Copies of this chain bind each other. A is one copy, B any other.
Amino acid sequence: MGRRHFVVTTSVEPPLRGSPYRAGCPTRRILDRIGDRWTVLIVGALWDGSARFSELRRRIEGISQKMLTQTLRGLERDGLVRRTVYPEVPVRVEYTLTEAGRSLREPLRALEEWSITHLGDVSASQEAYDRAD
């Protein structure tokens, strides 16, 4: 089967789907895209240049073939990654961040910075909380 079928998280639909949860909140909408297990790691791996499928698999330790394909398809569909097929034998496929994909750098850096400066306190808070029954 080709790639006709997709889970279709359709696009416009501002407010809700099943339950009235604020799916329209812009922050939530982008978290729905990058909040999964692999997206930011792939974006990071593509950061300085393109790579082919097998190279990505090697860089992102632990990712399964299925999830790499699936996540790359999602990124391609969103216009954040460009996929180029070179019809050689055997086939060669290159993945590159688009301009939109590279524009993710700013928000991701903000997250990373927050992480670096605050996750120590978070861990300490967790331990204190867990000790206090």
Contacts and interface: CB of A to CB of B under 8 A. Distances in A.
Stoichiometry, as copies per complex, reads 2
B30 A119 contact: yes
B31 A130 contact: no
Main secondary structure of the interface of A (DSSP, over half): helix
A14 to B, nearest CB: 11
Interface residues of A, number: 64
B77 A27 contact: no
A115 interface: yes
Contacts of A25: 40-41, 44
Contact of A125 (B41, B78, B125, B133): B78
A22 interface: yes
